[in-house]
Structure 1
Amino acid sequence: MEETNPLSSLKSWFSAQGGSFDPSVDLSEGPYGISVFVRIGTEGGQLEDTTIVTCPFSLIITKDASLRALGTLLGHGTESQSSLETWSERQLICCYICFHWFFSESRSTMIVLRHLPYIRCLPAAEKLSTPLHFSERELELLKGTNLFGATLDRGHDWRTEWEQCRSLVQTVNQAWGESLTWERYLTASTHLSSRAFPSSILSAEPSLVSTPSTYPVLLPGVDLLNHKRGQRVSWEVSCSEAKQGGTLSGTVSVISNEELKEGQEVFNNYGAKANDELILGYGFSLPDNPDDKITLQIGGAGKAQKWEIGRNARNVEGLWSEIRGMVSSEESEYEFEDDLEAASILSEMCQAKLDGMKTVADVTEDDDGIRPGVKVMLEHYIEGQRAILESMLKFADGKQKAAIEEAREQGIDLVFDDE
């Protein structure tokens, strides 16, 4: 393969392998890497209900395709093959991506590592902005939030996976093991988390719903479409089962059902996602995201029930019922006493979270240690988290007032300390 412009190579490779983009769209560099735009000069000046991109099954990066490639490189029928089969889907796909960065473009290697034109067009590590790519100062502003703990957990899990992968690769080839750095594995893992679709899209009855039995797959071309909440899109999967071997072949297409004018970006719709999920997995956020949520539980970690509460205290009733059940006692002469205690517990829980969380002002102050794009994400996320907690405080205050009114109706005037 000749060394050419990466974008031109991607287009040529994608077309040669059976993929296609509609002639009315073009690929161009956008704020999040290569994106899809309506071509200037499109007939009629706009498009609607158009099949934007089609990717053949043969180009999709799956765990099985990655396992076959890595098995060829590391040795089929050896102890390494048995070890490879114990790796997770993420380990297989991420190491397959990383191996593309190890080698020059020799024809023999590219037979096994088929996706170099695609991988070369993925954003460079310095352009990635998920929390594992934050500076210490940027990460510090997440302290007190669920996202801070989730970031640390993800970093620990991915490092453990990387160490296992590197150990095996080193036993086969010391130089390859040294090339499999943490930075490269992190970059590949971030590409996977930000671009993957569930494997259920490849089934005879395709679905975009992730379940415990699905795993992430990469769809070159399709993953160039960025997310826009509420965007109207359709998916079309043409799938047939081969007579021998039972393997599936076919294509995956994305159809834009929006009326788009020339020059506009063409978007996909990843579904309803809160800012914590968008930031952790994708590296961007939405202002005033209506899908924002905060996860709370009583009794700390473990198997305790976790409650996801949304804006305007959405779904708070389940958490309230659990707290109410905890304080309920046969010794309570009046029900309003239990309501008051439950309201107090809920208020203290929310206030403690608010007190331990940074404010938007902490983020917006002039600080050279925070990149502008990260600052925007932090503002969006912290605003949403605090808005949810404040709505829960209002909910608890309403429960307290209702309990006080109930007491008065029973002829009891309650007196509270100033504290």
Structure 2
Amino acid sequence: MATEEQNKLELFLQWLQVNGVELRGCDIKYCDSTKGFGLFSTTTPSNGIFLVAPLDLAITPMRVLEDPLLGPPCRAMLEEGEVDDRFLIILFLTMERLRSKSSWKPYLDMIPNSFGSPLWFTHDEFQELKGTTLYRASTLQKKSLQAVFEDKVKDLVERLLIMDGDSEREVTFEDFLWYATMANSVFWTRALNIPLPRTYIFPEGSQVPGANNVTNGVNLSSKEGETLWVEGLVPGIDFCNHALRAAATWEVDSTGSASGVPLSMYLLSVNEGPFEVEKEITISYGNKGNEELLYLYGFVIEDNSDDYLMVHYPAEALQNVPFSDSKKQLLQAQKAELRCLLPKSLLDHGFFSSSSERKNIKEYAMDKATNFSWSGQRKIPSYVKKLVFPELLTSLRTIAMQENEIFKVQSLLEELVGNEGEREPSDAEVRSAVWEACGDSGALQLLVDLLNTKLMDLEEGSGTEEYDTKLLEKNCVRDSPALSISVDKTESTPDDEVMSKNRWASIIYRRGQKQLTRLFLREAEHALQLCLKER
């Protein structure tokens, strides 16, 4: 590690100590170019606790709103509904990066200057994602981030810098956007969902407004008993890197009974026995597919068992289908969604799996507890236990309905609730009526068409699954510096023997998407064949 980086680390460790963070059985060390810094064990800690950080050090929406400089304008924007609580933290980080005398400098200096998420890809690296859901999502994210900071925040930050005594400092929009992009990436890569005691956020005697669902920077819809879940950054603990098999977990200690520090967060070993010295202390970011990992954290996992495929019916296309208004009403009545995540694990119980029967199968298209006259007259298909997407079919049945089937559904529901409409049918009853009127053939055909279109888009954007495999076999990986969205530069395509980490991650992700699309398409086509035979 370079001398400059070593000096930054020493200053940061001193800063942690001054701010009450206790490293009880760990130290912060440099891992490698892919991970940056991480936490490593030094001894087997007492009671299994490696690190304790006071909650008062956490960067949360409440801290931003209590800041004497940022608080007043942020509260105004929050009350007007212009921003959300996540944005407050991103704005705080941007401002602290730009302030010349920030008290957070030792912490911010330890955070990377670039990230592996698509926001930081070069032009050529970003083109490797063409045809994927992530390409479209990242494009929209870039435009949204740029528009929000240009329209709402840049002038505010410049005024606040002048008030803070930085009147001589000039900040170009490109520089500003680079800092804003970095702050956005810092939040998404390091934020934790912190379960805070309600009394910590709302001290005794404070009033919680009933009309406004957001107060003190906390979304009250996250309330669970006496706990409020708040997103924030906790310096020290946020240096833990991800691993599928985590070595530690974090907990909040309200009373100090576990850590000895009231109102703190502590890092706890998941192993009961002695912990290996100099071993990296990792936590789990949760079960996430490569799409989410690359979008939020900038890395992927080969052969990711938690991978998934997003399938959606475009809302704009629904406007053009016959009887769209009636179908929209039916979709709403069924609480049906136009998009669905298909986890890779579903394939373990499909038509082409070795499993004999799908586990924990849900009720199929109807509530079997009902006993109205027409319920169950349509025969349950023989393939139901092997069908891997019954929930998705709820929406597609409705979209694919013919005119006579719409009238039949209306007739069945009238018979159920009475011609006078004495009550509204439940969502389960509407699903049952749609199932009785339509069956599966139209929905499965529509699903086959959607998956075929998705596969064509993926292959048109970047070639076939086999092509991706050959690229990965032929090339090794090298580090490449990332550029922010404020820099519109291109990079020559890597040669035939080396590729950047970002390009490698893109190929791993898109190949997985092609593979899942092909496998789910095979399931849908087989289900359609069986459905047509049984109709």
Q: Hey, what's the Cα distance between the residues in 2 that align with 1:177 and 1:91? A: 24
* Counterpart position of 2:297: 282
In the alignment, is the contact (CA less than 8 A) between 1:166 and 1:177 conserved in 2? no
In the alignment, is the contact (CA less than 8 A) between 1:48 and 1:257 conserved in 2? no
* Counterpart position of 1:295: 310
In the alignment, is the contact (CA less than 8 A) between 2:243 and 2:284 conserved in 1? yes
Check 1:340–1:21 CA distance in 2 against 1; reply closer, same or farther (3 A cut).
same
Check 1:171–1:231 CA distance in 2 against 1; reply closer, same or farther (3 A cut).
closer
Check 1:262–1:348 CA distance in 2 against 1; reply closer, same or farther (3 A cut).
same
Amino acid at match of 1:346: L
With normalisation by structure 2, the TM-score equals: 0.62
Check 1:395–1:378 CA distance in 2 against 1; reply closer, same or farther (3 A cut).
same
Gaps of 5+ in 2: 202-218, 223-228, 319-327, 329-336, 348-387, 406-435, 476-492
Amino acid at match of 1:262: V
Structure 1, residues 240-289: CA drift from partner, whole Å, max 9, x if none? 59xxxxxx961101212146533321101121112111111111111121
Does residue 178 (structure 1) correspond to residue 171 (structure 2)? The answer is: yes
The alpha carbon displacement at 1:228 in A equals 1.2
- Give me the identity figure in percent: 22
The alpha carbon displacement at 1:218 in A equals 0.6
* Counterpart position of 2:109: 120
Q: What does residue range 162-177 of structure 1 map to in structure 2 within 5 Å?
A: 162-163=149-150, 164-172=152-160, 173=162
Q: What does residue range 5-404 of structure 1 map to in structure 2 within 5 Å?
A: 5-30=7-32, 31-39=34-42, 42=43, 50-69=48-67, 71-72=68-69, 82=76, 87-104=83-100, 109=101, 113-125=102-114, 128-163=115-150, 164-172=152-160, 173=162, 178=171, 181-201=176-196, 203=198, 213=222, 215-231=230-246, 233-239=248-254, 250-258=263-271, 260-300=275-315, 305-311=338-344, 313=346, 316-329=389-402, 339-357=440-458, 358=462, 359-360=464-465, 361-362=467-468, 364=472, 367-368=493-494, 371-404=499-532
The alpha carbon displacement at 1:122 in A equals 0.3
In the alignment, is the contact (CA less than 8 A) between 2:196 and 2:230 conserved in 1? no
Q: Hey, what's the Cα distance between the residues in 2 that align with 1:290 and 1:398? A: 24
With normalisation by structure 1, the TM-score equals: 0.77
Structure 1, residues 87-138: CA drift from partner, whole Å, max 9, x if none? 543443233323333344xxxx4xxx3321111100112xx11001111111
Aligned residues: 376
In the alignment, is the contact (CA less than 8 A) between 2:95 and 2:157 conserved in 1? no
Q: Hey, what's the Cα distance between the residues in 2 that align with 1:212 and 1:387? A: 38
Amino acid at match of 1:296: V
Q: Hey, what's the Cα distance between the residues in 2 that align with 1:322 and 1:306? A: 9
Q: Hey, what's the Cα distance between the residues in 2 that align with 1:306 and 1:132? A: 24
Structure 1 range deviating more: 221-230 or 195-204: 195-204
In the alignment, is the contact (CA less than 8 A) between 1:27 and 1:35 conserved in 2? yes
Q: Hey, what's the Cα distance between the residues in 2 that align with 1:52 and 1:184? A: 32
The alpha carbon displacement at 1:231 in A equals 2.1
The alpha carbon displacement at 1:83 in A equals 5.3
In the alignment, is the contact (CA less than 8 A) between 2:116 and 2:502 conserved in 1? yes
The alpha carbon displacement at 1:27 in A equals 2.7
Secondary structure of 2:51 counterpart: strand
The alpha carbon displacement at 1:11 in A equals 1.1
Q: Hey, what's the Cα distance between the residues in 2 that align with 1:400 and 1:88? A: 44
Structure 1, residues 194-235: CA drift from partner, whole Å, max 9, x if none? 0001243465699xxx99645531100000111112426343
In the alignment, is the contact (CA less than 8 A) between 1:311 and 1:387 conserved in 2? no
Structure 1 range deviating more: 114-123 or 218-227: 114-123
The alpha carbon displacement at 1:338 in A equals 6.1
RMSD of aligned Cα (Å) = 3.6
Q: Hey, what's the Cα distance between the residues in 2 that align with 1:264 and 1:240? A: 30
Q: Hey, what's the Cα distance between the residues in 1 that align with 2:157 and 2:300? A: 36
Secondary structure of 1:261 counterpart: coil
Q: Hey, what's the Cα distance between the residues in 2 that align with 1:66 and 1:80? A: 8
In the alignment, is the contact (CA less than 8 A) between 1:48 and 1:256 conserved in 2? no
